[in-house]
Amino acid sequence: MRRHVWAGFALLLSLLACSHASGDVGVVLNDSLDTSVARITGSGHSAVYLSRVCPASPVRLRLCEPGEEGSVISNYTTLGEDQPFEWNIVPLNLFLYGVPDPQNRPLFASWPVKRLLEENYREKVLGNYCVTHFCQTSGKAEWREMVGATAERTLYILIASTTVEQDLELIAKFNSMPNVNHFNAARRNCADFTKDIIDTYFPHAAHRDVLNDFGVTSPKAVARSFAHYAHRNPEIEYHVLHFVQMPGTIKRSSECRSGTEQLYRSKKFLIPAAAMSYPQLPLSAAGLYWLTGRFSPEREFEWHATERETELGDDVKLTEADDEARAKQLKAAEVQERTEVLGSGNDWKAFREKFDTLADDAVRTGIIADRGSLDHVFKTMAEHGTPSLDDRGGLWMKVKNADGTSSLVGFSASNVLAPDSDRKLAYTILLANINEALKSSTRRRETMPEFKQTWALLEQVRPQNQTYVAQRPGTGH
């Protein structure tokens, strides 16, 4: 079973980044958080993924070495570091999960877990870039947003292939120009930063939406314009990756929006508009958005989940007028390719039925009190547990028990099955993780390959009888 689990991780890694023989650049479209200006605008955040460019330091670029998974580069209002840098670059897995090795990714997230990952990154990577009290302690130091991003939001990466020459040109450009923050929400924001990098690779591929964002460049406009460019240029091998917010106690993120979309969808604007006798404002915004700015990153992912799916979709369009039978074959292959990543309705139904049996058994054997208790597992862990990192980067939680003792459980994919990990707690965490995935909408649900890795862990740690459940190797730590 363990051999199959690690083989599955290899498949997951293949979805995260392509080989160095074919580099990639991607628009990272982050969900919106209910904080600061985003609480009003719903605009989310934008960054750039580079599969063949890696950090020589947080502020310097280089070509990746074999085995490295690429990086994410972005700017913020203020990174909060000792020098006023405009941008930082971090390894892809650190950006996504907060750990260098995706096998150590957390099975759930909480603010204590997120802060632990941030501090580990600060100590091991930022070093002399982050010495001041503000940088080390303030939640407003936005270098923190580049560590374990999926702990607090869902994101999409819209990807196109690059050449080595293009990557070297970007490296030379960024390593030679001043890295000084001149952030401006109207003219030099995160979406402008992303647009400029994308246009370095593909001139005029990304641009602002003047009508729907009132002259400001928004993350969604950059993603939408880049997607449209990719649709017109199939040679760039376009595809989209989707990374969902980790289950846990951190508030769920919301889909990012353009300006007009926010005007008509958000109650923050609908109610004041009605109070001021301007009900036509949201209606006008809705009409403008639906006519000129409509874009769904989730739909974009569903139809372009792999390079092969995109190729098949293009082939269908080319052949359906002249060869109906061939087009039908290609369409079936396209659907199959999509299903392998997203899963079919029947696939998810089958897993729900299997899970119902496992959950009922867990209640019957006393592992959990009832099905509803699974909704509170992560809250209990956050309130009664203390997270820590081991020397290999695995995450552990020391949990206080009602009788005054404590138990130790691994909650990384790599150590949840470790000998010192409390089996009952490990099984409960995995049940809660699977429960969250199975009841989530498609936008909030991980891909089928990722889900199957967690399911394989669940089956391996599953207790076969109550004697096994009673063996709690983590007790007393």
Give the lowest-confidence range in 290-304, 336-350, 429-443: 290-304
Query: Is residue 274 included in any domain, yes or no?
Result: no
Indicate whether 81 and 119 sit together in one domain.
yes
Mean pLDDT score, 408-424: 95
Query: Is residue 270 included in any domain, yes or no?
Result: no
Domain extent, residue 337, equals: 305-342
Q: Return the SS3 of 220.
A: helix
Q: What is the pLDDT of residues 136-145, one digit of tens each?
A: 999 999 999 9
Inter-residue contact 396 to 387 (CB < 8 Å): yes
Query: Is residue 271 included in any domain, yes or no?
Result: no
Q: How far apart are CA 224 and CA 222, in angstroms?
A: 5
Query: Is residue 389 included in any domain, yes or no?
Result: yes
Q: What is the pLDDT of residues 199-234, one digit of tens each?
A: 999 999 999 988 888 889 999 999 999 999 999 999
Indicate whether 158 and 224 sit together in one domain.
yes
Indicate whether 319 and 403 sit together in one domain.
no
Q: What is the pLDDT of residues 12-36, one digit of tens each?
A: 444 444 434 579 999 999 999 977 6
Whether the per-residue pLDDT at 318 is higher than 70: the answer is yes
Whether the per-residue pLDDT at 277 is higher than 70: the answer is no
Query: Is residue 225 included in any domain, yes or no?
Result: yes
Q: How far apart are CA 78 and CA 14, in angstroms?
A: 33
Q: What's the pLDDT at 165?
A: 96
Ramachandran quadrant class, 30 (left: phi over 0; alpha: psi -120 to 50; beta: rest): beta
Whether the per-residue pLDDT at 8 is higher than 80: the answer is no
What's the 3-state SS for 111-178?
Answer: HHHHHHHHHHHHHHHHHHHCCCHHHHHCCCCHHHHHCCHHHCCCEEEEEEEECHHHHHHHHHHHHHCC
Query: Is residue 1 included in any domain, yes or no?
Result: no
Mean pLDDT score, 240-244: 97
Q: What's the pLDDT at 15?
A: 45
What's the mean per-residue pLDDT of the chain?
Answer: 88
Query: Is residue 167 included in any domain, yes or no?
Result: yes
Indicate whether 186 and 331 sit together in one domain.
no
Largest CA distance in the chain: 74
Q: How far apart are CA 197 and CA 199, in angstroms?
A: 5
SS3 content of the chain, % helix, strand, coil (to 5): 50, 15, 35
Give the amino acid at 392.
Answer: R
Predicted TM-score (pTM) of the model is 0.89
Indicate whether 236 and 361 sit together in one domain.
no
Give the amino acid at 353.
Answer: E
Indicate whether 59 and 118 sit together in one domain.
yes
Query: Is residue 477 included in any domain, yes or no?
Result: no
